[in-house]
Structure 1
C-alpha cells in the first residue's frame, strides 16, 4: 500500500469525524491517521479480500498483502483499519429484516425450517468471510490473534470496535475448540524454544532461571499444554503439576531446586500449582477447564494410585477487597476476638486502618495468633459467602476453579511468602479440590449461589 498522506486542514480542536464522513471527504485532518484517499484505498483492498467471486485461496493471498501493510502501520493507522473492518462489513439490515419477517410468517408451516436457515444466513455478516479469508494464509491465524490482542484495550473507549471484537471471539471459539487442540507434555527434553516460551508466558509464579525451569519440568513433575495445528510450538495454555503425598500448603518447597525428587511410586495427589494462558487474543475463549480434565485423565492413566486432584492457588483479589471491607468486617468481629487481637498487638481500641497495617507483615505473625486467624476468616468470607453480581465468586481464580466443579478445600498461611504473594493476599494461598465424583454436584450448588467448601473452611466462617 502507498504511504499515508495527512492534512492539517483542520485544527486540533475540530470535532472528530465519523468513518463515513472521512470516507466521503476530500481532505484529511491533522489527527486522522489515514487520509480520505488512503482510507478509501484500504477499504477497497479489504473488499477485494472479501470478494465472493474469488476463491478462498486467492482471498487469502490478498489478505496476506493487507497484513504485510498492517505490520508496518502505526497504531493509529491500525485503528483506522479496525474501524473499517468493524463498520463497513456489517450485516445487511434490510436482508435481515426480510428474513425475520419470512420466518415469523413461516412459523408452524412446512416451510419453517427453510425460513430458519435463511434467517441464520442473514445474520452472517460480510465481516465473517473477511476474517475467514485472513485466516486462510499461513500466518493468518497468528495475525488475527495479535490484532485482537492489540485492539482489546481500546474497547472501553471506542464502542465502534465492539462488533469486530465479538466477531473475532466467536470465530476463535470455533477455531480453537478443544476438539481441534492437541494435549502435549512439555518436559526438559522438549525443544529449547518451547521451554523459553514457558519461561516467557508463566503468569502465576515467575520462572527465575533455567535451573528453575528444569526443576519444574523434571521427571518427577508434569507440565502439559494445549497446542493448535496452525500454531506449532506455541502453547495456548499450560498447566504445571507436582505429584506429592497429600495436599501442598506452600509454594517454596515446590520451587526448591535443591529438594530431592519426589517418589512417583508413592504419589497420591496431583497438585496443579500454575495455569497460564499465553494468548491475550483468546480472551473469553475458555478451554482451561478442558485442559484440567484432559490432564487428570492422562495422569490417572500413568499413575493409577493417584486419589486426589487439587490446586495450590493464589488469591489475587484478596488485598484489594479487604482494603474496602476492613472497617465493616472489623466492626462485625466479636468483642472477644477484638480484645485478643488488641492484646496481641499491645493496643487498645484498634482501628481498621491499624489492623490493615499490622497485617502488612504476615511473616512476623504466628499462624495460630488471633490476628492471623482473623485474616484467614476474612479470606474464607471473600472466597465463599461473598458473591459478585450474578452470584459469581468475587475472585477471578476462584471463578475458574469453582466453575469447573472444585470446592474450596483449605486456606494456607504464608503459602506464597514472595513479595508478589504478600502484595496480592498477605501471603495466603488456597487449595481447590477436584472431587471427581462431585464435580456436577458442586457446579449445581454454585448455580444456586452456594459455594461448596470443606469443613475446615466452614469452621473459619462460623
Structure 2
C-alpha cells in the first residue's frame, strides 16, 4: 500500500510540474550507490541553502519526493541517514549562541533567545516542512516516517531525525483539525478496503466479515485529516448489545441475530486500530473514544453503558518469565495448593509447562481448576508496573489513561489461536463510566492509581 501511495503522489506532482529531477536523476541507482549519493549530497546542500521564494521551496520538496519514490529500501535508508547525519542544526553556531546568551546583558537576552530558536531549526526540517503545502505532501511525509521507523533501531542520529519529524507531524495533526466520520456499508469501496488492510485486532477475512462489522447493530468511526480525506488515521469498531459482552467469538458470530439499535443498552468497543504507522507516538485514540461516546449518547439515548472487550497482549509472555516459585508465591497458600494438586494430576512440572501442552483446553475439569488460578495471576499482571510506574500492559495503559476502570475479567473470552497464545484466552472489559471518566483519569494520571471494580478487586484473594 505504501508503494502505491508513493506512486500516486509522484504521479500527482508530475502532473503539476512535469519531471523535476532532470537528466542527472533520471538514471539514478535505486540503491543510491556512492556516486549517486555524492550527487544527491550536493543537491541537498543546494536545496537546504537556497534562498528562493515559496514556489521554489515547494518545487525543491517535490524534487525530494520524486527522488525518494525512485529509491529501493536500501536507497531510502541511505537517503535518510544522509539527512540525519549531515543536515541537522549547526552545533558550533548553537554553542557560540549559548555562550553569548550566558554572557549577555538582560536587555540582549530576548534577541539571543530568538537567534537560538532559529538555529535549532535544522535545514532538513525547513525543507521537509514544505510538504505541508503540497498535494498529498502530508501523506508522503507520514509514509516516509513509516520507512524511517523501520530503519531507526538503536541509531541515535536516525532517532533524532524521527523525533524531529514526529514533532512536525504532531503540529499538522492537531486534534482541532481532525474530523470524526462514521463509516458504513455505503462508504467508498476504497475506504472499506483500507479497513480490511488496517484492522489490527481481529482480522477481517472477507467482504462478508466486513459487512457484518457494519451491520445494523454495529458502528465504525474514524478520524480523518483534511489533507488525507480518504485515509483513516485511526478507527474504532463498536457493537451495540444488551449487557457487557464477555466473548469476542460470540460478539463476532455472524449467525447471532441483530439487535435493533434502539433496543440495545450497551456499546462495546471491541477493536481500535491505528491505520498510519507513520503517526506512531501521536495519540488520537483517547479522543476518538470520547467523541464516539458523545456521538452515541446523542444518537441513542438508550445506550447507558460504554465498555471495551479488550485483549491482554502481554499476559502469557509475562507469565512465562515467572519462576515456578514466584507463581506459587503470588497465588498464596490456598490457590498454590490447588495448583500443586492440579499439576500432579496432569503430570506437569509447573504451570507454564501445563499451559504449553494445551491439553487442559479439552478437559473441563482442568479448565475449571485453572480458571481462578489464571484470573488471580492476571490480577497481579494488571497491577505490575514499569520503571516509570505505568502498567506493563499497553492496552491497560491506554484505557486507564482515558479514564476507564478495569470492570471484569472474562474466562476464555478469546479462544482463537492468537487469543490463547497472548493471554490463554482471557480478555478484559474496561468500563467507561460517563460520570467518572474525568475523575478516573485524574487519579490515574496524578497518583498512578489503577481503578478497578469490586469484582476485579476480589481476584486478588483468588475469588
Question: What is the TM-score of this pair, normalised by structure 2?
Answer: 0.87
Q: What is the alpha-carbon distance in structure 1 between the residues aligned to residue 76 and residue 192 of structure 2?
A: 32
Is 1:287 matched up with 2:300? Answer: no
User: Aligned residue for 1:451?
Assistant: 450
Q: What is the alpha-carbon distance in structure 1 between the residues aligned to residue 348 and residue 140 of structure 2?
A: 60
Gaps of 5+ in 2: 1-24
The alpha carbon displacement at 1:98 in A equals: 4.0
More off after superposition, 346-355 vs 53-62: 346-355
User: Aligned residue for 1:83?
Assistant: 81
Gaps of 5+ in 1: 7-31
* CA gap 1:416/1:395 in 2 versus in 1, 3 angstroms: same
Kindly provide the CA deviation profile for residues 3-22 of structure 1, in whole angstroms up to 9, marking residues without a partner as x: 4579xxxxxxxxxxxxxxxx
User: Aligned residue for 1:119?
Assistant: 116
Is 1:216 matched up with 2:178? Answer: no
The alpha carbon displacement at 1:258 in A equals: 2.1
More off after superposition, 229-238 vs 147-156: 147-156
- Equivalent residues of 1:326, 1:356 under 8 A apart: no
- Equivalent residues of 1:337, 1:370 under 8 A apart: no
Is 1:417 matched up with 2:412? Answer: no
- Equivalent residues of 1:49, 1:133 under 8 A apart: no
User: Aligned residue for 1:259?
Assistant: 256
More off after superposition, 134-143 vs 359-368: 359-368
User: Aligned residue for 2:270?
Assistant: 273
Is 1:325 matched up with 2:348? Answer: no
More off after superposition, 437-446 vs 398-407: 437-446
Is 1:66 matched up with 2:64? Answer: yes
The alpha carbon displacement at 1:2 in A equals: 5.0
Is 1:189 matched up with 2:213? Answer: no
More off after superposition, 244-253 vs 354-363: 354-363
User: Aligned residue for 1:10?
Assistant: none
1:151-162 map, 5 Å: 151-162=148-159
Kindly provide the CA deviation profile for residues 222-249 of structure 1, in whole angstroms up to 9, marking residues without a partner as x: 1000111111211010000111222111
Higher helix share: 2
- Equivalent residues of 1:367, 1:413 under 8 A apart: no
- Equivalent residues of 1:359, 1:426 under 8 A apart: no
User: Aligned residue for 2:374?
Assistant: 375
* CA gap 1:360/1:326 in 2 versus in 1, 3 angstroms: farther
Is 1:461 matched up with 2:460? Answer: yes
Q: What is the alpha-carbon distance in structure 2 between the residues aligned to residue 430 and residue 413 of structure 1?
A: 9
User: Aligned residue for 1:436?
Assistant: 434
Paired residue secondary structure (1:184): strand
Paired residue secondary structure (1:241): strand
* CA gap 1:306/1:353 in 2 versus in 1, 3 angstroms: closer
User: Aligned residue for 1:204?
Assistant: 201
- Equivalent residues of 2:361, 2:367 under 8 A apart: no
Q: What is the alpha-carbon distance in structure 2 between the residues aligned to residue 88 and residue 243 of structure 1?
A: 54
Question: What is the TM-score of this pair, normalised by structure 1?
Answer: 0.87
Q: What is the alpha-carbon distance in structure 2 between the residues aligned to residue 409 and residue 332 of structure 1?
A: 21
Q: What is the alpha-carbon distance in structure 1 between the residues aligned to residue 115 and residue 256 of structure 2?
A: 64
- Measured on the aligned residues, the alpha-carbon RMSD in Å equals 2.5
Is 1:178 matched up with 2:164? Answer: no
295, 299, 304: which is aligned to 1:298? 295
- Equivalent residues of 1:363, 1:414 under 8 A apart: no
Paired residue secondary structure (2:43): helix
Kindly provide the CA deviation profile for residues 65-93 of structure 1, in whole angstroms up to 9, marking residues without a partner as x: 23222222122221221122112221122
- Equivalent residues of 2:319, 2:352 under 8 A apart: no
Report the count of equivalent residues.
Answer: 434
The alpha carbon displacement at 1:265 in A equals: 1.4
* CA gap 1:449/1:362 in 2 versus in 1, 3 angstroms: farther
User: Aligned residue for 2:45?
Assistant: 47
- Equivalent residues of 1:342, 1:348 under 8 A apart: no
User: Aligned residue for 1:314?
Assistant: 311
Paired residue secondary structure (2:236): strand
Q: What is the alpha-carbon distance in structure 1 between the residues aligned to residue 108 and residue 197 of structure 2?
A: 56
The alpha carbon displacement at 1:333 in A equals: 2.9
User: Aligned residue for 1:94?
Assistant: 92
Q: What is the alpha-carbon distance in structure 1 between the residues aligned to residue 222 and residue 359 of structure 2?
A: 36
Q: What is the alpha-carbon distance in structure 2 between the residues aligned to residue 420 and residue 348 of structure 1?
A: 26
More off after superposition, 220-229 vs 442-451: 442-451
* CA gap 1:443/1:65 in 2 versus in 1, 3 angstroms: same
Kindly provide the CA deviation profile for residues 180-220 of structure 1, in whole angstroms up to 9, marking residues without a partner as x: 11111000111111111101110000012111111111222
Q: What is the alpha-carbon distance in structure 2 between the residues aligned to residue 458 and residue 308 of structure 1?
A: 20
